[in-house]
Structure 1
Amino acid sequence: RAQLYNERGQNFEPLTKTADQYEIKKAKELTELAVKKFPKSEGGINAQNLINQILKPALKLETEKVNVPDQPFRTLVSYKNTKAIYFRIIKISRDEIKKMDRRDYDKLWKDIAAIKPIKTWSVTLPDPQDYQNHAAEIKVDGLPNGTYFILASMEENFSLQKNIIAKQLIYVSNISYIKNNKNEYYVLNRDNGLPYNNSSVQVWETKYNYTKSENEEIKAEVYTTGKNGLFKLKKSKEYRNILLQVKADADELFLDENNYNTFYNSYEQTQPIQPITFLFTDRSIYRPGQTVYFKGIALQKGTKANESIILPYFNTIIQLKDANNQKLTELKMLTNEFGSYHGSFKLPEGSLNGQFSLYDTATKASQYFSVEEYKRPKFFVDVQKPKGTYRLLDSIKVTGTAKAYSGNNIDGAKVKYRVVRKVRYPIWFGWGGYSRKGGRIGYPMGNSDEVEITSGGATTGADGSFNITFKALPDESVDKKSQPTFYYEVIADITDLNGETRSGNTSVAVAYQMLQMEIIIPDRLSIDSLKKITIKSTNLNDIEENTTATVTIQQLKTPAKIFRERYWEQPDQFIMSRDEYYGYFPYDVYKNENEVKNYEPGDKVFEKTDSTNGQWAIGNGQFKAGWYKIVATAKDKYGEVVRTERYVQLYSDKSVEASYNPVEIIADKNSAEPGQKINYSIKTGFQNIWLIHTLSKVDESNNTTYQTIKPTQPFKNEMEVKETDRGGMALSYAFVQHNRVYKGIKSFDIPWNNKELNIDYSTFRDKLLPGSEEKWAVKISGNKGEKVAAEMLVSMYDASLDQFKPHSWSALNIWPRLYNTISWMENGFEAINSQEYNRRESDYVNPLAKSYDQLLFTNEDVISDVMGFNMKNGNQEKRKMADGRIAINASPMVSQMKFTPPKIVRDEEDKANIKIAADSASSITINQKPQTANQPQIRKNFNETAFFFPDLKTDAEGNVEFSFTMPEALTQWKLMTFTHTKTLASGYVEKTTVTQKPLMVQPNAPRFLKEGDRIEFSAKIVNLSDKEITGTTQLALLDAATDKPVDGWFKNIFSTQYFTVAAGQSVAVKFPIEIPFNFNSAMTYRIVAKSGNSTETSKNLPLVNGG
């Protein structure tokens, strides 16, 4: 039981998981009792070892790397099982540090402990007596400029025996420097952020000396900062490992190489403008032997807009590569006046399937696609989220639908389902509060593992629907107060009458409350914009449920000062009072008062009760700048309280309104077009900041200015957007204040909407007959509706293939965008962890040795492989090898067996025959033969690509017309249309259509046939009409060479069957047949369904033949 308590205690984490804080203490009390009663026993020895483990101490320090001279600073002490810590401050030079680094580990610590300190003191630490790890911040008195070691010890004499000593190397200096990605450095005052002009910067290069086998620091160039504290590092063709030694007046900052190491390459190269190709294919997945249709658009893409042009009459070669990236074949291509080319490749048969590709040799562009053996899906499954309100422990009914791609319902199908539970928490709850830096902290704990709570079966109805009912069982280990939401994933596998299986799923959210509410309002808005608010209430699956709610808005008392970022985790123990702490550290956080959720509440400025799912008027009253808490509460029909909250910051663009943020950018718009203006201002909550402000544009121009900003004197700027600004603009800023760096970017979108084309279908039908002749018309226009001359690519393929691999195109994304904005990096603004010396002797007591009687056995007939795994009576040979290894050979009988791979034939429209392989040398071949005039018209065009028209041109009005014959597959089709102009404006749209008939036959042909097999050749008769249909179905098996029946060979005795199908439903028919031996001819099959004047005939060829 003591071990169990100890394991529970390991779950403790200060501030977040405190329930098991004193479990280790319970373990210690039990183990002490065991040791007292049975000190020499095995249990007593184990108990003593556990006590020693529990009492093991720990010590670690975290301190800011560089601190401001003569100002007190903090160190975070992480500790365990100690009540006092002893400290020393040792002043050290850089040369002394380098000498120490050459000493061995023990000598280094001995010498450090022997150095006379300039200051010593001790700190008594809070002791909760829980034997857990804790952390507290302590004060270190201010120090003059220099480099120092902070030493901490659990023993006053800093002995190296049975003690833990921690050390840190810190720097004290007013100097700081920050760097941007243009290798521009600014030397600034660490406290007030003002620039150091005329400061000296010595660059040192670290290079490895192979003779001495060590790194050497070599003096390099020297810089002097100019106005604004700026110097720019020289360009280099090589990477350099550098250090900076900065001197300003009597101050110096030379960060040690162990703490600061940078590699840079500022050598600028002009990249040549390269041609590129955009490749388009008709699909993303094919079967071996099918045809890949493609189109390419060759163009020149530059970093500037005027460098991007099409490449007419451009020569290239397009290659087809297999799964091993080996070239199979190639075609020579010449682009037309629109910079495009097109062609096709027939895929090989009998090669390795996998990821194939098209490769343009001139531009090195590739387009990847899959080549696999697959069977076209006939239907899909849609599982809907339930409507209404419900809560945990309720029985919930989920409805799903199985529907064919041709539009008919899948009735009478078998359903297998399972329900899996997961848990999530509301994002706004106590652990999700905002901090002054943004972001959220902490999450409650609970069992979040996936658990299957039920499974079962069902059958689809006449309309293809099915119901799944389950009880919403909660996870009892999760605290109800945390308002968890449980997600029940419902997974359904549907098998239709033909034996095809497809899957669908949905996720159902359930909680103790039946409602969820959302306050729809921006996180940040101006003080005169808070006039309306929307309260949305839904069930937990986002389906609207109206209710009555009460909303309150409360102003929060924003702290009068701006807190600095804390570089380490919040401590859980405190040595100083809050007032004492603020006296020493006026800019630092004491506990968690910097988080918005912990702001002191102020006046309630709004309260209203009304119906949800609509806008609420708040009034025209003026709000003050600052933070506000909005709370919405309601009750579900069971009386459970539902509550949500939002924190909103209001700002003012008036100079008289103070800012509560380090920096605040207020812009009148975030997106603009050429000819418009953007106005923005930059405010601060500090008394005075010196800000580096850079405006970046897409043409790589950067305009840097330096601004002194005060709360009552913001920086204001107006920008006029030009045509050359398309692609975006951004402003970046950086400044230093109170030993912290503040930096950020504000982006403005200037879109390339002048390069967008509109595609409108004036003729289009979403339901088609198989084999129908179609003529469709399209209108192409510019972004503002103007006429354009364009080339259009249009293609349509079987959308059911998206279940395997989705396929899509997109408009050209080639126009320059602003990516290379100014970004800032800083050094010396961080916390460093201590190094610890721990030579405490282990108190571990060896347990009593034990031995047990064993059964005698021999190792006869046991073979071990070289990895040590054994096999009893293995049918293998064993031979000796050097060094005691064992080699095992496979049985010669097995190694001599031959394997004949199956022959595979696909349903390409021009396929000549299909073979049924046998165990012997004989085979059966199925051939396609033309139909005679007195036979019913057979659907035989089952192409998966309906058409691929790569280079249709607009007329003078921007119109395009094209004609096609629909394939005869009964399925859903995806229509894709892409168009572009000679100036590289482009557009893309997708549509879907369905091919279907009132009476349809949907066969489910087997994937392979083998001599001697007995199978049921199944098909489904579908009735899409509004009345019942009765008729006959006939399966005919024919000799492909003579077109004579061979039903007798295959024992197709029940070749004709009657059917009755209700309106909108389907029935299955099955024909038992036997695959004969020694049938040395070709065979074809035909299924005909007749009812009155309606006839439907289907003939499929996707058969896999295996031996």
Structure 2
Amino acid sequence: VSVLSVKVGTAHRGGFAVRWFGAGDFNIYSAMGKASVPRTDRELKVTLPHPKALKPDARVRWTLKASDRFGKPVNGEGTVRIFDRSLEYYVSGAGSWLAGLYPERISNSGGIGSLFNSRFTDIPVKEGLVDRMLSLFDRELKEEKLPSLRINSSRSGHRRFFGRGMAQTLSAGYEDESFGDMAEMKSGGANLAMSAPAARSMGRAKSERFNGEAVLTKDKKAGGPPVAVRKDFSETAYFNPQLKITGGKGPFSLRLPERLTSWKIDAAVITRDVKKGTISSAVVTRKELMARLDIPRFFREGDRSEITAVLSSQARDELSGEVTLQITLDGADAAEKFALAGPVKNFTLKPGGSAALRWPVTAPRGIAAYKVRVIARAAQLSDAQENDLPVLPSRERLIASQVTALDGKGTKELRLTELEKEDKTRELESLHLEVQPQLILTVLNSLPFLVHYPHECTEQLLNRYVPLAITNSFYKTYPALAAAVKKIPKRRTLTPAWERDNPVRMMTLLESPWENLSKGRESSLPVVDMLDPKLVRAEKEDAITKLAGYQNSDG
């Protein structure tokens, strides 16, 4: 038994490894152990005092506190995120980027035994890279290997496959440091710049639909006082990427959304001398009596389904009361349209219990955006929630098209025979006629990307020049065309914004998450306006000039 003592000092922060080996009975034994040494000098103590439970829509003012390991307050910047814990399903295990500033040292020190079989060095190769590699292996074998204790302080040794001599010989043009150890130490500060996320916005997140005031409703049948209706169901309660920490304190205030949920709180602090600290906790928004709607995102016309209200109790005593379901359209009662029967139901909840109440409904005909509200009362306790419930069409849109050509002045009658056929299942709700005066417009819409492709090899320059030359010749041959394109409205996007008075477009937008696309598709690449004759001519000359520069003197 051999005991070796190592005095762990500040230089060992980040961890170190110890390899041992021994020999006996013509066998060699070796192993490596790793010791973790925390970087306590780089850690901050971060706290964020807050209650464990709050009511929805509560206004709070909290203070993020930070101090060093000696308890002295520090100055710096903090990041605070408060979001619905259900979002952790999508980013499970995602931690703060600060954790990557001081990673644990990685050691992969290897050992070579004296029984190494080197018969492959007899391969008769006398020149080239293989010969150089074999000679380096032979040199490595001849070097004396003494028993040693190695404390690996390099941040990463995964590139050291061979000995020092081989690394230097095969890496011509690299620095003369053990194949990258010093290079890694020189670039050690790169992690800080690469890992820091760009702060895109500052301040608390707010729901676009939330007007900042609690909405009150009065249940006429219950005859009680107004009940605050919860409408703001934002998933992000607060986000501040740059909270100033002065004297160890960073105060901030927020207003919690009206969700009944558990909120995840993540906070991190960093100082000018790159000391860091993080904290993670949770706060719950709840009431003694809670009512929650469980409804689909939308209905189709004629759908048969159920609207469910889930009631929960956090009270100490048994609760008995009644719950009311309301369906409105533009503020007017629309329960009859859904064939809603018995909107008022009684309930009884045991302490900590829950119950689900259901109402069968049938979606009416006609496209509309309804609102569904549930109101629960039990003695002095109450809760109410309101959600949107759009009814979308259950039919297909019929599309018919026809192509014709006009040469000069003339008139032609277009008949869409597909729509003239009798169909008892068809319901005429609206008609939209779209006329494309020139098929060339479709081609022109595809040209901007082609004529400004981000590469300038000969092939791409030729692909750029040809459409520019053709378009430029059109403008020269037909001056009326050049005059006509000047009347077309200018835009900065590749595609035009959707017409807000077009019912077909609006219905597509209602049924799909294409809000950004409806504003026009943008491009990070420069776009050439093919409807500008002067710009087309200038781009054409630029392309042909570059092509001529690529051509050799012999053609």
Provide the TM-score with structure 2 as the length reference: 0.48
Decide which structure has greater strand share: 1
Greater RCO, CA 8 A, separation 6+: 2
More helix by share: 2
Structure number, greater radius of gyration = 1
